[in-house]
Structure 1
């Protein structure tokens, strides 16, 4: 038995969902549009719950509400694309954020090697093969293996989400700083 197992569990009050959202809103995230499917079945939705998981193998994840219409499209196709949005793409992010979202056919895009749509003006993209789906409360966590990737070739600021608002960075980063993985 570990020391952690021997400690009594503290009595805590349930966390209010709105309070959790407000506190997590102080963590700056990038904004993506996840696209999946092909042709008439192609769809997309705006997501800020994205992260890289592993470099070897190359894995990333994103989360969707379990009622999201994109969930069935990702499951059916087995592929998805993470499109990183630029600061000037707030209108595009909002177009894919609601229940009745923009149609892929109405925005500039091209198919990647898997057939899933890559948005034309995205800063970069990761095309992924779905490898796992994990229930997580009212969301589903999709883990994918990156099979194709690319950058736009233009240096632009990313679109960010902070305290409930979308926007661009105020200024360009001044230099690269190493990130240490613990």
Structure 2
């Protein structure tokens, strides 16, 4: 297979990638699922489901999340300067769907407590990372948010919630 340099790629007739096809292709890559939470502006805490989360650096401790640029959660993250990554367990698919809605889930009866930054940490999550915003970058229709981890913890032992082909299959993990 021929390797393409930028100049060779520019010479070719590059097609525009359709969002539907991109979603279908990327859906073949299994990911974990997390809910990003932060303090809201007088309306209470705000949260959003993401599967674009990864560790960036161990020293300093940095993580990355991608949040839609029109999301209430992004506005709250930018206003507060902090957020928590709540890694979901396999029994939390309904919670994942609740926070995936555009109008953002209601924290109502949901067990949560403020972390070190004041961001809500979900009491029943698998694990959490409490972060201060380190930097942000534009990323198309999303904003890439790099957070510096200031606190973290494991909250329970359970299989993680996974996302693959628009579903939540359970991992087969050896004992």
TM-score, normalised with respect to structure 2: 0.90
Deviations 1:67-92 (A, max 9, x none): 11111100111000000000000111
Are positions 1:50 and 2:53 aligned together? yes
Return 5+ residue gaps in structure 1 as ranges.
175-182
Deviations 1:119-145 (A, max 9, x none): 011110000100111111111111110
TM-score, normalised with respect to structure 1: 0.87
Aligned counterparts of 2:129 and 2:99: Cα–Cα separation in 1: 18
Return 5+ residue gaps in structure 2 as ranges.
none
SS in 2 for 1:88: coil
SS in 1 for 2:91: helix
The CA deviation at 1:12 is: 1.7
SS in 2 for 1:92: helix
Superposition CA RMSD, Å: 1.8
Aligned match of 1:172: 173
The CA deviation at 1:7 is: 4.2
- Where do residues 26-105 of structure 1 align in structure 2 (5 Å cutoff)? 26-37=28-39, 40-105=43-108
Alignment equivalent of 1:151, drawn from 119, 136, 154: 154
**Count of aligned positions:** 170
The CA deviation at 1:17 is: 1.1
| Preserved CA contact (<8 Å) 1:33 1:46 | yes
